[in-house]
Amino acid sequence: AQSVAQPEDQVNVAEGNPLTVKCTYSVSGNPYLFWYVQYPNRGLQFLLKYITGDNLVKGSYGFEAEFNKSQTSFHLKKPSALVSDSALYFCGHYMNRDDKIIFGKGTRLHILP
Amino acid sequence: DTAVSQTPKYLVTQMGNDKSIKCEQNLGHDTMYWYKQDSKKFLKIMFSYNNKELIINETVPNRFSPKSPDKAHLNLHINSLELGDSAVYFCASRRRENTGELFFGEGSRLTVL
């Protein structure tokens, strides 16, 4: 079955430090991968996507993600974390045949001041 | 202007009742979705519509019936509510050719007592 996995329930990072939120995928064919962020009591917001092309994808709020085919990973990164980055992050995969996005279980990111 | 709006934002009701959640998008998108987010924050797709036509119907009980009167609206009606239906329901939309970039509403928190 096609899926994305987020191995960490929670990630804690000190403000100003680099952050990484992990995502691995298991899909057949070309992966269409996404990151979304959810702030408390809000809907999900799109951050970035990988469809094809450069393995390093830049997105909103200074986030980027690196597509790694050999490791089947699509980790979300940011060079310097802000307290306001604290939120729930979802990795997603678009299933072309079914025209739907499935999401990982989410990773809660805590940026410590 | 709210791009994807859902009403009501909060809904508290008794078991066995019937309730509806409405969703409207003013983005001119072709495809709309309903997702369910449970208490552990897992996101599960329920339905998708494209231009008023049902595309996806995941393994959702028959008590859940979506209706799309036009491509800007996708409503969710739930019959005979059960305790397990308590969740946050998110409506989302996207432009057909824009793979995977969803715009989410703020969510409707349903509590069944």
> How many other C-beta atoms can be found within 10 angstroms of the C-beta atom of residue B77?
14
Confidence grade of residue A108 (pLDDT, cut at 50, 70, 90) = very high
* Contact of A8 with A23, CB cutoff 8 Å: no
Cis amide bond preceding B8, omega within 30: yes
Q: Which helix (H) or strand (E) holds B41?
A: none
User: Taking chain B, what is the end-to-end CA distance rounded to the nearest angstrom?
Assistant: 34
Sign of the C-alpha dihedral computed for residues A10, A12, A16 and A17 taken in this order: negative
Rounded Cα distance, A57 and A65, in Å: 5
Contacts of B88 (CB under 8 A, 6+ apart): B36, B37, B107, B108, B109, B110
Residue-averaged pLDDT of chain B: 92
Identify any residues that bridge with A76 across adjacent strands, giving them in sequence order.
A21, A65
> Rounded distance, CA A60 to CA A90, Å?
14
- Tell me the CATH class for A3-112: mainly beta
Give chain B's domains with CATH numbers. Answer: 4-112 (2.60.40.10)
Contact residues on chain A for B105, CB-CB shorter than 8 A:
43
Best residue in A39, A46, A47, A105 for a mutation probing chain B (most B CBs within 10 Å): A46
Q: Give yes or no for residue B96 having a pLDDT over 80.
A: no
Of A50-54, A73-77, B84-88, the poorest mean pLDDT is in A50-54
Whole-number percent of chain A with pLDDT over 70: 100
Residue A97's pLDDT is what? 78
Q: Do A42 and B42 touch (CB under 8 A)?
A: no
Average pLDDT over residues B99-108: 90
CA B3/CA A97 separation, integer angstroms: 27
Q: Read off the pLDDT of residues A54-102 as tens digits, 9 standing for 90 and up.
A: 899 999 999 999 999 999 999 999 999 999 999 999 999 988 877 888 9
Domain boundaries, chain A: 3-112
Mean pLDDT, rounded, for B61-83? 94
**Chain A residues with beta carbon closer than 8 angstroms to that of B99:** 32, 49, 51, 94, 96
- CA distances in angstroms from A87 to A29, A38, A40, A44, B80, listed in the order given: 31, 6, 7, 10, 34
What is the pLDDT at residue B1? 63
- Mean pLDDT on B46-59: 83
